[in-house]
Structure 1
Amino acid sequence: MSTEASPVTDQATEQVSVEYSADGHTATILVDRAAKLNALTLTMLDDLAAAARDVAASTARLVIVRTAGDKVFCVGADINHFAGLGAAGMWRDWIATGHRAFDAIAGLRQPSIAVIDGLAFGGGLELALACDFRVIANEARIALPETGLGTVPGWGGTERATELIGRARAKELVLTRRQLTGEEAVAWGLATAAAPKAYLDATVGRLSTDILAGAPLAVQLGKQLIDAAADGAPSRVLEALAGGLAAATADLTEGVAAFREKRTPHFTDS
């Protein structure tokens, strides 16, 4: 049972399209436009950014990104919403809004897990790539097929895919529009784990348990250090600062005590 919920509505239809909820230490962002295969609109992108702000302001230690429906995670951008924007509209509104939304998710201090239970194409895959981890169903398919439509990935897909799988693989993904299965996504390095759809939630649960077992501040500092290193920041400086901050926490005292006493630590996020 969720302990708090903050639905955000699609202004065009007045129906919930993105919902933020929290249960204990875990927050969930749900994209719910199943009737349209969870295709993303400008309003939904704004809603995703708002949901990310809700997570950032919360005491959650982990965020799960899910979508509604049985066979589709997200087919990406709603073509009917961007086809008539023109060059200026694409540059000023469509691309910029998507980057703000996905960067807000990627920039969260809390680790994030995307649960890919079906097709994740284009912007749908880019949404998943903005998360720290991707757990995918074996039966799912992922792709960046935009060149077949006459355009290119626009919401960070080229950058994040290249960071994960390298330049050659990213070119194969984008230029050939190749679709990967869940197991192929793991083999390529685009996904963390794959499982039959019936066991997907159990796989997410195990990963969540492992993340939540760490000291909250240390986990969040670790995420930020790795992201900063990927951007070229010197670890000798940032690790010293982060280590100094961690040294001042009660959780480090508890972690050392638990190690010496050969017991499981009880972290309090302090």
Structure 2
Amino acid sequence: MEHFLLDIRDGIARLTLNRPERLNAMDEAMMDALMALCRQIEHTQDAHVVILTGAGKAFCAGGDIDAWSSQSADTFGRHWLRDGHQALDALTRLRQPVIAVLNGHVLGGGLELAACADYRIAEDHIQIGQPEPGLGIIPGWSGTQRAVRRFGAQLVRRMALFGEQLSAHDALTAGIVDQVVEKGHGLSAADELANRMRHRGPVATELVKMLINAAEGEERERVFEALAGRIAAVQPELKTGLAAFKDRKKPDFW
């Protein structure tokens, strides 16, 4: 966990990528840590919103080139890409709303990480893009899938196929980010937004997020089963069935 900081207080989980000497580039250990931290946040009852950002002058420089460039093609496809998907899926599917503070350039895997958030605040000095094909590789952590669902296919074409980079204000116009603030003001803007969540029902917020995710094709099966399971779990039938099971009898639901 050495390359992440997690601070949970006042209903807010502040998750910070903490590898500033590598511009918060992700390696295998960070993927594993992100999975574990998402599970911890998910199960923390008094965490109602998540703020995600990077330490130092970067948000996230994406996947650590030194970590993946020496891998065999099989290892790259079987582990690097699949493990990255699992880690970013865990972040996307948190029950809590996630606010990403983009305090440095958002390129490659950094954009894929930002796409997991429900709200993105960009500081006005940053650039956003998908430079992977310029290295002869693809955006492999859902940069052609989740990014298309959330930002639109044509915008992803412009960045991934033609190498276009967007300023913070261009990204706001295009719908990649939701708010632009001055350099150094991202966290305070996120705190203000997170504190507004105190006036919104946490259960209703969680359910709405799940339904929106399902509508855009994110974890639809789990969402429907989780919602149906919650309804079933509060019905008197459950107590009847469990009692009959313990007594080794057939339940009488009628």
The CA deviation string for residues 73-120 of structure 1, in whole angstroms up to 9 with x for no partner, is: 111111111112121101111001100100000011110011101111
Aligned residue in 2 for 1:48: 34
Aligned residue in 2 for 1:159: 145
1:109 aligns with 2:95: yes
Match among 61, 71, 74 for residue 60 of structure 2: 74
TM-score (norm 1): 0.79
The correspondence of residues 14-33 of structure 1 with structure 2, limited to 5 A, is 16-33=2-19
Match among 175, 178, 191 for residue 192 of structure 1: 178
Deviation at 1:62, TM superposition (A): 0.4
- Give the conservation status (yes or no) of the 8 Å contact 2:98–2:117: yes
- Number of residue pairs aligned between Structure 1 and Structure 2: 226
Aligned residue in 1 for 2:238: none
1:61 aligns with 2:72: no
Match among 122, 132, 138 for residue 146 of structure 1: 132
- Give the conservation status (yes or no) of the 8 Å contact 1:19–1:51: no
RMSD: 2.0
Whole-Å separation in 2 of the counterparts to 1:212 and 1:66: 21
Whole-Å separation in 2 of the counterparts to 1:130 and 1:223: 12
The alignment-based identity, stated in percent, is 34
Structure with the larger strand share: 1
TM-score (norm 2): 0.83
Which structure's CA Rg is the greater one? Answer: 2
Whole-Å separation in 1 of the counterparts to 2:87 and 2:14: 16
Gaps of 5+ in 2: 235-254
Gaps of 5+ in 1: 1-7, 9-15, 249-270
Aligned residue in 2 for 1:13: none
1:209–1:24 CA distance, 2 compared to 1 (3 A) = closer
Deviation at 1:197, TM superposition (A): 1.4
The 4+ residue runs of structure 1 with deviation greater than 4 A are none
The one-letter code sitting in structure 2 at the alignment partner of 1:69 is G
